[in-house]
Amino acid sequence: MKPIRNFAVVLVLILASSRLVRAQEVDAFFGLGSAHASSNGQQIDTFGDGTLYPTSGIGGAFTDLGANFFFNRQIGAGWTGAWKFNSTNYAGLQYHTSFHTFDAIVEPSAIRTRHFAPEIRAGIGFSGVHFDEPDPVSCSQVPGCPDSYFFVGHLAGAARFYFTNHIFLRPAIDVNYVHDLYPFGSHWVPRYSMSVGYSFGRE
């Protein structure tokens, strides 16, 4: 899915070059979370020895990383990324999963306060499944190996709770619809995260 990756790079460059200088507020955050999708239930003779290895679902701990650029007190754009901390077994091979989304952001002014800033987000992105240096023969038995990428539609709700004028705690719920996510048993992948962050340029 190289076109999707190219689109992501272009969008980041556009945000950084043409919008950042006009942003009234910039937020950066980092934390931990999780993502969940079921197994597709398949069993694969990965190593050609007659042993069937089950496919797994998505789960476990993920990083949570992101940035927001607000052009006024209500409208902004942002990027979020999530990576699986440790490798997970999938049909006898080790793999990682990642998610990257690029969103429009609305902050409802009616409920925003000095210490509370809600985020309603919608956008697109991509998800990657990356196998860890598998043997070419065994990799050829596993669909999507060694690397595969999938288009993502994204909706999310989050809130920034400010302890100071700049430092915040950010819980978030993300819902990803991942097109044709054949390695797993569901196209819907929810993510839950808790991050800490810092706001630049906040009054």
Structure tokens at 74: 């209500």
Q: Where are the alpha helices (DSSP H) in the chain?
A: 2-14, 136-139
β-strands 93-106, 116-131 pairing: antiparallel
In 3-state terms, what secondary structure has residue 152? Answer: strand
What is the fold of 2-200? Answer: Porin (2.40.160)
Q: What is the pTM of this model?
A: 0.85
> Would you write out the chain's pLDDT as a tens digit for each of its 203 residues?
444 454 455 445 545 544 444 568 899 999 999 999 999 999 999 998 999 999 999 999 999 999 999 988 889 999 999 999 888 999 999 999 999 999 999 999 888 899 999 999 999 999 999 998 778 889 999 989 999 999 999 999 999 999 999 999 999 999 999 999 999 999 999 999 999 999 998 76
Q: Where are the domains of the chain?
A: 2-200
Compute the distance between CA of residue 103 and CA of residue 11 in angstroms, rounded to an integer. Answer: 10
